[in-house]
């Protein structure tokens, strides 16, 4: 799980991307609850040290959330055979976030291995995608279709 949330190497599936996002969001929510409880107690007692501690817990949680989201996006873009730099598009307000959400969360990755590693789906192929021959023979399929429609 640590590799999924904190590493920028390799590729990850959409399923694991969404699981990682949910886990990171849940952990961040727990940190927010803890920080708000510390802050509420500190405000009631007028204690600046506890207020600073609450701010620190919130800041650490925010940095960890940013790191995990960037790591998850990077691995999803690697699965789509794109550089880590595409992860930065999520920093663009609204449209960039929407683009990253669709690209990373909805679109399938490249089939087989790519320059970032083997397929996370474990399709068993060791050939790079651009050298693999397709199992479909389009002229043969088209000819079969024409025969069936003419009959």
Residue 25 backbone zone (phi > 0: left; psi -120 to 50: alpha; other: beta): alpha
| 18-37 pLDDT tens trace | 999 999 999 888 988 888 88
Residue 140 has pLDDT above 60, yes or no: no
pLDDT for 58? 84
pTM of the model as a whole? 0.71
CA distance 119 to 61: 31
Could you tell me which of 57, 56, 89, 55 has the C-alpha nearest to residue 70?
A: 89
pLDDT for 127? 47
How do the domains of the chain map onto residue ranges? 2-150
Q: Which two tokens stand for residue 24?
A: 């990171």
**Which neighbouring-strand residues pair with 117?**
114
| 45-101 pLDDT tens trace | 667 777 778 788 888 888 999 999 999 999 999 999 999 999 899 889 999 999 999
């Amino acid at each position: 799980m640590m590799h999924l949330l904190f590493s920028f190497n390799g590729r990850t599936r959409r399923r694991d991307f969404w699981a990682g996002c949910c886990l990171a969001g849940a952990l961040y929510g727990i940190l927010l609850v803890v920080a708000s409880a510390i802050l509420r107690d500190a405000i009631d007692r007028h204690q600046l040290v506890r207020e600073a501690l609450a701010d620190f817990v919130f800041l650490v949680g925010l940095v960890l959330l940013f790191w995990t989201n960037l790591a998850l996006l990077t691995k999803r873009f690697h699965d789509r055979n794109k550089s880590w730099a595409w992860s930065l598009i999520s920093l663009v307000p609204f449209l960039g976030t929407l683009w990253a959400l669709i690209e990373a969360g909805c679109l399938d990755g490249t089939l087989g291995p790519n320059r970032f590693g083997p397929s996370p789906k474990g399709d068993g192929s060791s050939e790079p995608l651009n050298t693999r021959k397709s199992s479909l023979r389009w002229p043969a399929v088209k000819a079969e279709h024409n025969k069936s429609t003419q009959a």
